[in-house]
Copies of this chain bind each other. A is one copy, B any other.
Amino acid sequence: MAACRITFLPFDKRVDVDAGVSLLEAADRAGIVINSICGGDGICGRCKMIVRKGTVRSEPTPLLTREEIRAGVVLACLSTVQTDLEVEIPEETLAAEKVEVDEEAQRFRAIRPGITHRQFSKTPLVSKLSLELDPPTLDNNLADFQRVQRAVETGMGIASTQMGLKVLRQLPLVLRRRDFAVTALVGRRKEIAEIMDVEPGDTADANYTAVVDVGTSTLVCHLVDTGRFSTVDAQACFNSQAVHGREVTARIIAAEKKGIGPLQNVLVADINNLISTLAVRNNVALKNITAVVCAGNTAMMHFLLGLPPDNIRRAPYVAVNVEPSPFRAAEVGIKINPRGLLYSVPGISGWVGGDLTAGILATGLWEREETALLIDVGTNGEIILGNKDWLLACSASTGPALEGASVACGMMAEKGAIEKVYVEDDEIRYKVIGNAAPRGLCGSGIIDLIAVLLDKGLIDRAGKFVPDSDPAVTFDGDAGRFVLVRGGRKDPGTGVFLTQDDIDNVITAKAAVFAAAKIMLDRLNLTFEDVSKVFLAGGFGNFIDRRNAVRIGLLPDMPIASIQYVGNTSIWGAKLAAFSHEAYDALREIRRRTTYYDLMGSPDYVEQFKQAMFLPHTNIELFPSVGRPKTVLA
């Protein structure tokens, strides 16, 4: 196929793609994040672009007005490239009111070309099956349950089904209410399926799953339409467990003192809030949310299920269960359909949880011929190294700085967050999510700002503020700070700034990640040159400046093209499972195939960590592309 050059305005980004590729994918390959909710299914109408030069072939859509069509507006997901193009991307197509959805949809598309694994079947963990059964006669007097069972087993290709007593007791009435037209709610539980409920009439249209990334600092919930395999909406919040401690270990200690109840309760309340917010906003009845799929670190999953996490924090760091069976969601207090199921994404060990298993699935790491790295930075940093033949996992204690927590002006990647900091005309400039007034810095902004401060010589390679380097750098005793946005006159504390503590926290975090990756490679006698691809996952924001991530030494100095920011792979992997029990089975296989490597067992770790406490690293030869920073060494 002919290669076409696409130029995206206003930023003048160029990318070469084959004819026939969708505009959405082209933008994606150009590294542009598009405000698509539906993930490219032509439903949400958010990926509008204006074709200025050249020809696209567009499928018809009711989501565009005549005026828009006349003005050259197309939906990027429904339009394929035919020639060289010049395409303008309107501000609102980039804007991100609902950050997480956009991010996820984007990542979904962004990763798809890069992964090798098969498409999974469309076989949700909990599905609804509309049945028009033959009413019984003397010649066909199968019992009620067996009648439903046979239809479900035939309809879904499932070998064996069962039904709880409560549902069974209602079954005769329910079957006869609409003359044996019913909808069966079928949940998969390992090798068998449970007919969780039977409703009169055809209700198969209304079937939703809440997919939750249970993070230490942040909870993210996506409401997905299970029958249509699409994302409806998303919502995020901070984990209210923070009152019991910022980090996992502190919370485990709190649970040992106070009992697990208080920690479980706030977590369940947070999840219920997220779900009910999404349900109300999208006019979805809770009873039609029939499943919750949760991926989280192992301790969080213990808190959620009420399992004692004590042994996770002490050598040999043993979890109670890294692959819990599905339970009734009501059993832990999650308010969805009373018969709804709670699926846990299986984790790997006490310190590498289901969020990483999900990431391995989502990135296809487990099916790649070539060795790749997955670096997931949350409140802890987990690093997976491997390919289709082997997978090695470790966990490094980073603290939540790179998520925007434990940073004075840090915040989630939501409206008002500075997500990008850059130098233009020698001035430090920034970009705010939602074009709002700046309220703080999200992860990507923090990384950018530190890189910029380093480049401009405002901090040294140890990350320390350089006195008198800039009027925006001020000192209170030894504690420097850089003011990026001035506060109001009356309330100067409302500005956006970065403190020495913030920088120290970020350096500690990035050093832990880098040292962990280095140790894993060393253990296998590999170098970064043996790594074909680095997937960076985490809640940094909509995108991350990969050069700056290398610049500060969070990522190894590899060709930028081989680094891919994949966002929240925890929720994406969990969503794949919600949509396909094959994907869920794959998660179980990944769990079994992944070996946990305990960093504390490595004699080199402390030394490697210390060496990584510089920007980008003590050993600058590891970062040839970065060169010597333009800093003024004292």
Contacts and interface: CB of A to CB of B under 8 A. Distances in A.
Contacts of A331: 165
Interface residues of A, number: 50
Interface string A270-290: 000000000000000000000
Contacts of A525: none
Which of A164, A320, A327: most chain B CB closer than 10 A? A320
B307 A168 contact: yes
A322 B191 contact: no
Contact of A305 (B142, B168, B319): B168
Contacts of A349: 141, 143
Contacts of A165: 305-306, 327, 331-332
Interface string A18-42: 0000000000000000000000000
A136 B318 contact: yes
Interface in A390-449: none
A164 to B, nearest CB: 8
B320 A171 contact: yes
Contact of A325 (B163, B305, B322): B163
Given A172-B308, A327-B165, A331-B165, A319 B159 contact: no
Contact of A138 (B173, B306, B601): B601
Interface in A334-393: 349-350
A169 interface: yes
Interface stretch (A309-317, A451-459, A548-556): A309-317
A169 B325 contact: no
A596 interface: yes
Contacts of A189: 162, 192
A323 interface: yes
A160 interface: yes
Nearest to A176: B311
A320 B171 CA distance: 7
A476 B507 CA distance: 108
B191 A321 contact: no
A596 B349 CA distance: 53
A404 to B, nearest CB: 31
Interface in A158-195: 159-160, 162-165, 168-169, 171-173, 189-192
Nearest to A141: B316
Nearest to A596: B141
A144 B321 contact: yes
B160 A190 contact: yes
A562 B487 CA distance: 103
Contact of A315 (B138, B320, B596): B138
Contacts of A138: 315-317, 598, 601
A324 interface: yes
Top 3 closest pairs, chain A to chain B, by CB = A145-B321, A143-B319, A162-B325
20 contacts: A138-B315, A138-B316, A142-B318, A143-B319, A143-B320, A143-B321, A145-B324, A146-B322, A160-B191, A162-B190, A164-B327, A165-B306, A165-B327, A165-B332, A168-B320, A169-B306, A171-B320, A172-B308, A172-B310, A172-B311
